[in-house]
Amino acid sequence: MSIRLEYIVCNKKGDELNRFDIKAEAEAYDSVICAAEDISLLLEPLQKKLSLNEDQIYSISEHLAFQSDAVKLALKQIKKVKLATSADPKSPLPQTEEVKKSTTKKSAKKK
């Protein structure tokens, strides 16, 4: 008789996604799945806008998570200055903490 140890990676719903014999591989896969779940939360606003269902959102999220190196490379091209250009509250661009702090310091100096 032999004993076999398997590592099973499941999603938040408890659905089995994959099985591994090596713990490090299971943990690496699990980290990608966790990232995919986080990315899906970021994509939820697109769900109604693009008429996507939950499975489609998750498939896109999972694809982006597995392509993390390419995604990181693409995102590195974004300059922080471009994100922080608008202090206008009506602007669709989010203000970073740096912009909020610098705006507060400038208004405090004027007083």
pLDDT value, residue 111? 45
Select from 32, 11, 30, 35 the least CA-distant residue to 20: 30
**Predicted TM-score (pTM) above 0.85:** no
CB 33 within 8 A of CB 11: yes
pLDDT value, residue 27? 94
The domain locations on the chain are: 1-77, 79-111
Q: What values do phi and psi take at 90, rounded to 5?
A: -80, -10
Torsion-angle region of residue 48: left (phi > 0), alpha (psi -120 to 50) or beta? alpha
pLDDT value, residue 70? 93
* pLDDT, tens digit (0-9, with 9 covering 90-100), for 8-63: 998 878 889 999 999 999 999 999 999 999 999 989 888 888 888 888 998 999 99
* pLDDT, tens digit (0-9, with 9 covering 90-100), for 97-108: 544 554 445 444
Task: Report the C-alpha gap between 108 and 105 in whole angstroms.
Answer: 5
